[in-house]
Amino acid sequence: MQKSPKIEVISDLISNCTNCSLHKTRNYTVPGSGNSKAEIFLIGEAPGANEDIEGIPFIGRAGKVLDELLNHINLSRNDIFITNMIKCRPPKNRDPFKEEIFECSQFIDMQIQYINPKVIITLGKFAFQKFFPDKTMSESRGFPHQWKHLTVFPMYHPAAALYNPNLKTKMFHDFEQIHQILYKLVKSQKNHQIKLL
Ligand code: SF4
């Protein structure tokens, strides 16, 4: 397999990308942020208005929900890498088009290859269906799924909790399950970087 470029090089490639029409309306690309040696890799959907201005993922209200979830299992942004399926904001926060996801997916593939995480947490259906295009969120959410050598754990997108507070309880429960998965991984590996929780 061809070696992936370093994470900073991937970010530069993203910054200069004009592969889909979203480059015409973006302010900044949002490549991703966090620990480039993380064993936990989170994938959302697309940048929103705040992210488009700052170039950083999950800094709005949904980001605050995500921080609460991470804190709940004693993790912080420094313990994870987080990005989105597409790296430029769709106008008016519409859903990403299939062609945009297709054009942008090369970057997330490079990021996963370089970081080589153990667990991928998908936030929302667009991220989950990258790995399991034939499965629905309703049947799959809240359970670990094996994809190649990786554990993929599908969750609701944190933004969903802003519109339906009942979902937040389920999200806390899902993160507790992730805590258990991480704990088992830590126990089974000598050379790990995941914190013993
Ligand atoms: S969304 Fe992705 S493919 Fe489209 S212009 Fe931005 S970086 Fe390129």
pLDDT digits (tens, 9 = 90+) for 129-167: 999 999 999 899 999 999 999 999 999 999 998 989 899
Nearest-CA residue for atom 4 of ligand 1: 20
**Strand order across the beta sheet in which 119-123 lies:** 33-34, 81-84, 40-44, 119-123, 150-155, 145-147
Structure tokens at 35: 């620990």
121: CA distance to ligand 1 center in Å?
22
Structural domain boundaries of the chain? 7-188
The finding on whether 101 has its CB within 6 A of some atom of ligand 1 is: no
132: CA distance to ligand 1 center in Å?
22
Span 109-131, mean pLDDT?
96
Please state, in angstroms and rounded to a whole number, the distance separating the CA atoms of residues 104 and 101. 5
DSSP state of 22: G
| Nearest Cα to Cα of residue 172 among 137, 144, 142 | 142
Q: Give the model's pLDDT for residue 197.
A: 47
The finding on whether 88 has its CB within 6 A of some atom of ligand 1 is: yes
The finding on whether 45 has its CB within 6 A of some atom of ligand 1 is: no
Q: Which fold has domain 7-188?
A: Uracil-DNA Glycosylase, subunit E (3.40.470)
Q: Give the model's pLDDT for residue 68.
A: 95
How sure is the predictor about 192, in pLDDT bands with cuts at 50, 70 and 90?
A: low
How sure is the predictor about 13, in pLDDT bands with cuts at 50, 70 and 90?
A: very high
Q: Which atom of ligand 1 is nearest to the CA of 17?
A: 8
86: CA distance to ligand 1 center in Å?
6
Place of tokens 């490079």: 110
The finding on whether 115 has its CB within 6 A of some atom of ligand 1 is: no
101: CA distance to ligand 1 center in Å?
8
Please state, in angstroms and rounded to a whole number, the distance separating the CA atoms of residues 50 and 60. 6
36: CA distance to ligand 1 center in Å?
21
Give 166-177 pLDDT, tens digit per residue: 999 999 999 999
Mean confidence (pLDDT) of the chain: 92
The finding on whether 86 has its CB within 6 A of some atom of ligand 1 is: yes
